[in-house]
């Protein structure tokens, strides 16, 4: 048998902590929805070749557009292809870093009791 008033091993203090944690989790969920909308509207630019090729993606990596300088066209198809791929990778890395940073801000201070 368990001790008096202990229930499942949670005292009243633990129940309050748990209720507070649920409240925080709900705030995080609402914040995540808002963050998703913000990420969709963001424009994050990756580039290669000193700006010869620029790739713009949303904050959640959705491609928006590619900008190719007329000077890049003189580099030839193979070099241009490499520049586009490098700019895409740059944009992707910046986008995921931004997303990770924003999620960390959103969840900072979220401490679940007993974990």
- pTM, entire model: 0.71
- Mean pLDDT of all residues in 69-94: 95
Least confident range of 4-8, 64-68, 76-80: 4-8
Could you give the percent of the chain with pLDDT greater than 90? 51
- Angle, alpha carbons 99-107-36 (nearest 5°): 40
* Residue located via tokens 């895409």: 88
Least confident range of 22-26, 32-36, 39-43, 96-100: 22-26
Segment (H or E) for 70 = none
- Tally DSSP H helices, then E strands, for the chain: 2, 3
Cα distance between residue 68 and residue 49, in whole Å: 10
Q: Name the DSSP class of 111.
A: -
Domains of the chain: 12-107 (3.30.1310.10)
């Amino acid at each position: 048998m368990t001790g008096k008033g202990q229930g499942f091993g949670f005292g009243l203090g633990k129940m309050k902590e748990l209720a507070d944690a649920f409240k925080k989790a709900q705030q995080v969920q609402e914040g995540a929805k808002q963050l998703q909308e913000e990420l969709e509207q963001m424009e994050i630019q990756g580039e290669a070749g000193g700006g010869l090729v620029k790739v713009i993606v949303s904050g959640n990596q959705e491609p928006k557009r590619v900008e190719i300088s007329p000077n890049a066209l003189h580099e030839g198809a193979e070099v241009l292809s490499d520049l586009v791929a490098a700019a895409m990778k740059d944009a992707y890395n910046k986008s995921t870093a931004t997303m990770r940073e924003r999620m960390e801000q959103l969840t900072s201070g979220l401490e679940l009791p007993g974990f």
